[in-house]
Chain A
Amino acid sequence: MSDPTALGRESRAAARSRSGAFDIPENPPQRALALHRALTAVWANDPGWRGQITAVNHTTLGLRFMATALVFFAIGGILAMLIRTQLATPEGAFLDTELYNQIFTMHGSIMMFLFAIPMLEGLGIYMLPKMLGTRDMAFPRLTALGYWCYLFGGLIMLGALFAGVAPRDGWFMYTPLSGATYSPGINADVWLLGVTFVEISAIAAAVEITVTILRQRAPGMKLTEMPLFAWYMLGTSVMMLAGFPPLILASVLLEIERAFGWPFFEVARGGDPLLWQHLFWLFGHPEVYIIFLPAAGVLSTIIPVMCRTRILGYGAIVASIVALVFLSFGLWVHHMFTVGIPHMALAFFSAASLLVAVPTAVQVFAWIGTMWQGRPELHLPMYHVLGFFLTFVMGGLTGVMLALVPFNWQAHDTAFVTAHLHYVLIGGFVFPIMAAATYWMPQITGRARIRGVGEAAFWIILIGFHGTFFVMHLTGLLGMPRRIDIYPDNPEWIWLNLTSSIFSFVMTIGFALFALDLFLQATLGKRSARNPWQAPTLDWALALPAPAYNFASLPGPRLLTGEPARPALLPLARGEGVLPGAPRGRREFLVTSIGAARPDHVAVLPGNTALPLWLAGAIALFVLLMLSGHYIWTLPALTLVAALIWRWGRGLTTEQDHPAVEAAPGLSLPVHYHAHASLGHTGTICLLFSNGALFASLLFGLGFLTLVTPGPDAPEAFVPGQSAIPAMATVVAGLALGAIGVRLARHAVQGERGTGALWFSAVVNALALLAVAILGLGLMDDPTTHARDALRGVLAGYVALHALICTGFAAFALDQLRRGELANGRTGTLKTWRFWQDFSLATALLAGAAAIMQGGV
C-alpha cells in the first residue's frame, strides 16, 4: 500500500540524521483491525461492575477524576449560592451562624481540594500519555489508588457536611481557632484528616506525572520539543511534590495537637499560631500556581490551534514556567503582611510578589503575539480563552495591588481579597478548563457539539461572574470583612451585596447550561471528524474516542512531525511505529531517556486489579477510626495498610529472566526487570524529593519555634542525668551499616550470594529502630510539656518511621531472595531500598544535629 507521507518522512529522517538526532526504522505494516483487537484484549478494563473497581487505565481514571471533580464543583457551587442568599440582605435569617460557617468553609475547601486540584490531575492523567505518544501513565495502580483516596476523602468531608459536623474555621483553618479549645468536636478533624487523605492522591499524581513526562515521551521527542502542555504539567507536578508536604505536615501536627495534646501552636506552652500560617501558606501560595499552570498549558495548546499558527516564544514560555515554579515559593508571607513581621522581611516578600508578575506577563504577551501572528477563528474554545484574558488580567492586576504592603494592610481580610481570588481562580482556571472541555470533547466522546448552547452558556457565565465579583471589590474597599453572615449596621454594603447575589445566580444558570451542553454533545452529538481542529499534537493522532491502549504502535522519530497530527494516524494504527501490538499478551510501553528521549527499555505494566481500592479502603478505615477517637484501633488498621502495601510490592516481582524485546527492526531493548534505571527508580527519587520537602518543613518549624517564638523558656530536651548520645549514635550507626549492607547485598546478588548481607541489613535497621524507640520513649522529655519537646518528638517519630521502612525493605528483599527473584541482574527491590536507606541515614543525621543544637544532650 502506498503511503503519501512516506516521502516526507524519509526526508525528515535524513534531516534528523544530519542534525545528529537518532533514527528508528519503521516496522512493517500490519492489519490495523487485528492489532486493535489484540491490544484491546490486553488493555481493556474488566467487563461489567468488576471493571468499575479494577480499572487502572489512565483514560478511564482521568475521565473519572474529571467527572468526580465536576460533581464536587456543582456541590461547591450550590454552597456558594447558599452563601450569596444569606448575604443578599443585611440581616438574612436563611442560615444561622454555625451553619453559615460550615458552608463557607466547605465551599472553599471543596473548590480547592476536591475540584481544582483533582480536575488538573485528571486532565494531566488523561491527556499526557496521549500527547507524549505512550500507552499509559508510569504507575497505573498508583493512578487508581489516587482516585480512590480522593473519592473516599471527599465523601468523608461531604458526609460530615450532611451530618452537621463539617469544618467551620475557614478553608485555611487558622489556629488557635481550629485548635481543641475553640473548636471542640470533630469538625476541624474532618478537615485535617480528610484533606490529608485527599492529598495522598495529589502526591501520587505528582510522582507519576513527573515520571511519565521525563521517561515516557515518544522516542525522539526531546524535552525542548515536547508539547508546552507537558512543560506546564511538569512544572505543576514538581510544585506539588514540594508544595503539598508543608500542608501535610501542618495538618498532621494540628491533628496530633488536638488528639494527644502536643502543643505545636499553643502559645502558653511555647507553640505559635504563626507556625500554622507559615506552613499553610508555604503550600497555599504555590497552590495558586499549581492550579494556574495546567490552565496556562491548556491555553498554550489551544491558542495556536485556534489561530492556525505556532506558539510564539516557546523558549521564553518554558523559562517563564521555570521562573514561576521557583518564585511562587518565595511569596507565601504576602498572606501574612498584617501579623507583625519586620519591614525588611515584608519588603523581601513584597518584591518577590511583584516579580512574579513578570513571567506571567511574558506568557500573556506570548499568547497575544500568537494571536497577532495567526488567523484567529472564533470557535467556542476561543470564547473561553478570551474570557480568560479579560478576567485573569484583571485578577492579576489586583494581585499586584495586594502585593504592595500599604494597600494590603487596608484591604486585608476584606471582600476585596475574595473578589481578587475569584478573578484569579475562575479567570485563571475555570475559563481555561471550560476551553479545554470544549476543545477536547470530540476527542473524549467522538462526537461533535451541538451549536448554540455553549455560546449562550459562555456569555451568561461571563456576565454573571463579573456582575458578582467586580462589585465585590467595591464592597471590600468599603470595608466589608470576609466571612461575616450579617451586616445590620452597614447600609452602604446592601445594594452591592444584593447585586453580587443576583448576578451569582445568573452565573449559576450559565454553568448549568455549560453542563447541559457537554451532556448534549456526549449523548446526541453527531460523529466528530478526526482531528476536527487540525491540531499538531499526538492526542489527535488517535481513533475517536481513544482506545484503551491509545496507540497501536508508538510514534518514533520519523512520525514526530510537528505538523497536524493526521499524517501519523494511519502508520501508527498499522503498527509501523515502535513496539507494535501486544504480541506477548502483556501491557507494554517504551521507556526513554530524560533529555533526547532515546529508547532505554520496555516497561511491563500490571493489569486490572482491585488492590488500589482495598488499600484506599484500609486508609479510609484508619481515618475514620482517628475521627471517632478510637486511637488504639488505628494500629490494626495501619497493619492492614502495611500488609496491602506488601501485597502491592509482590505484584511488581518476577522469578523469570525476560528476553529482550525487538521494538523495531534492529532495536532490541531489555525489559524493565533487567534495566539499569527503571521507572520505579525515577519515581522513588520523586517521592524522596517530596519527603525531603516534608523534612525541611519540619526543620523550619523547629527553627521557627526556637528562634522567633517568644514563648516560655523551654525545658531540657532530654531527661536530666541521662545521656542521649549512645542511643543517637546507635540510630545513626544502624542506618549507616544498613546502607553498607544493601550495597553489599546488591553486589552479592549478582553472584547469587546475598543472604548474609541482607540479614545483616535487616538486623542493624531493626537495632536502629529499637534505639530510636528507647530515645523517644525513655530519654526525651514529655512531648506535651513544651512545643519544642513536641517537635523533637515528631522528629524522633520521623526517624523511627524511616528505620521501620528500611527494616521492611530488608524483610521484603529477604523474601524475594527466598523466592529466587534476585538473580542474574534482577535486583528487585534493592535499588529502591538503597535510595530509602541513604535518605533515612541523611535525615537521621540532620535530625540528630538539630536536636543537639537546640536542646543539648
Chain B
Amino acid sequence: MARGALWLGQVLAGPAIWAVTFAAVYALHGTGCAQGWDAMATPVGSVHRLAMALAWGAGLLACGGLLLRFSGTETRWQALPRMGAWIGLGATLFSLFPLIVLPAC
C-alpha cells in the first residue's frame, strides 16, 4: 500500500508545488500591499517584489528538481510523475510571470 501511496504522491508533487507557490506568492502580494513593502527598496527592487520573486524561484527550482528526479518515461507508471512535474513547472512559470512585468499594488 505504501508504494502506491508514494507513487500517487509523486504524480501530485509537481502540481502541489505550483499550488503552494501560487498561494505563497498571492499571500505575499496581499501582505506586502497591506504593509507597504512596495516602498521598501533593495538593490534589486522592492522588498515586496523580491519576496515574491524568491518564492516563485523556489517553486520553479523545486519543479526542476522533480524533473531531474523523475526521468523515466518507458511505462505509464514512470511517465505520470514526470508529466506531473511538467504540469507544475509550466503552471508555475506561466501563472506567476506577471510578478516581473506589472506594478505590484
Contact = CB atoms under 8 A, between A and B. Distances in A.
Contacts of A677: 1
B105 A342 contact: yes
A600 B102 contact: no
Interface string A297-338: 000000000000000001110110011011101100000000
A704 B23 CA distance: 13
Nearest to A359: B87
Contacts of B79: 315
A322 B11 CA distance: 8
A572 to B, nearest CB: 25
Interface string B89-100: 011001111110
A328 to B, nearest CB: 11
B91 A327 contact: yes
Interface in A594-628: 594-596, 600
Interface residues of A, number: 36
A318 B34 contact: no
A708 B30 CA distance: 7
A347 B4 contact: no
Interface string B54-80: 000000000000000000000111011
A600 B77 CA distance: 21
A707 B1 contact: no
B46 to A, nearest CB: 12
Contacts of A330: 18-19, 22, 91, 95
Contacts, number: 113
B91 A355 contact: yes
Contact of A351 (B3, B7, B94, B105): B94
A348 B26 contact: yes
Given A322-B12, A326-B19, A707 B99 contact: no
A122 B77 CA distance: 30
A594 B4 contact: yes
Given A318-B80, A326-B15, A707 B30 contact: yes
A329 B19 contact: yes
A224 interface: yes
Nearest to B35: A707
A7 interface: no
B15 A325 contact: yes
Interface string A244-278: 00000000000000000000000000000000000
A352 B22 contact: yes
A570 B14 CA distance: 44
Of the four ranges (under 10, 10 to 19, 20 to 34, 35 or more), the interface on chain B belongs to 35 or more
B7 A342 contact: no
Contacts of A347: 98, 102
A275 to B, nearest CB: 13
Nearest to A703: B27
B71 to A, nearest CB: 16
A18 interface: no
Select the residue from A594, A596, A677, A703 with max chain B CB neighbours within 10 A: A594
Contacts of B11: 322
Contacts of A418: none
B95 A326 contact: no
Nearest to A345: B29
Nearest to A327: B91
B39 interface: no
A593 interface: yes
Contact of A595 (B4, B15, B96, B104): B4
A757 to B, nearest CB: 27
B16 A326 contact: yes
Contacts of A1: none
Contacts of B8: 223, 594-595
A704 B29 CA distance: 12
Contact of B4 (A223, A323, A348): A223
B95 A351 contact: yes
B87 A322 contact: yes
B80 A595 contact: no
Nearest to A326: B15
A600 B104 contact: no
A163 interface: no
Contacts of B105: 342, 344
B97 A351 contact: yes
Given A319-B84, A600-B1, A344 B102 contact: yes
A753 interface: no
Contacts of B40: none
Contact of B7 (A327, A345, A352, A595): A595
A597 to B, nearest CB: 8
B4 to A, nearest CB: 2
B55 to A, nearest CB: 12
A316 B94 CA distance: 20
Nearest to B73: A315
Nearest to A323: B87
B94 to A, nearest CB: 6
A593 B5 CA distance: 9
The 10 A-B residue pairs with the shortest CB-CB distance in the complex, in nearest-first order: A595-B4, A594-B4, A347-B98, A326-B15, A319-B83, A352-B95, A593-B1, A224-B76, A707-B34, A351-B95
Interface of B: 1, 3-5, 7-8, 11-12, 15-16, 18-19, 22, 25-27, 29-31, 33-35, 75-77, 79-80, 83-84, 87, 90-91, 94-99, 102-105
30 contacts: A214-B4, A223-B8, A224-B76, A318-B80, A319-B80, A319-B84, A319-B87, A322-B15, A322-B80, A326-B12, A326-B15, A326-B18, A326-B19, A330-B19, A330-B22, A342-B105, A343-B102, A344-B98, A344-B103, A344-B104, A347-B102, A348-B29, A348-B95, A355-B91, A355-B95, A594-B5, A594-B8, A595-B5, A596-B3, A600-B1
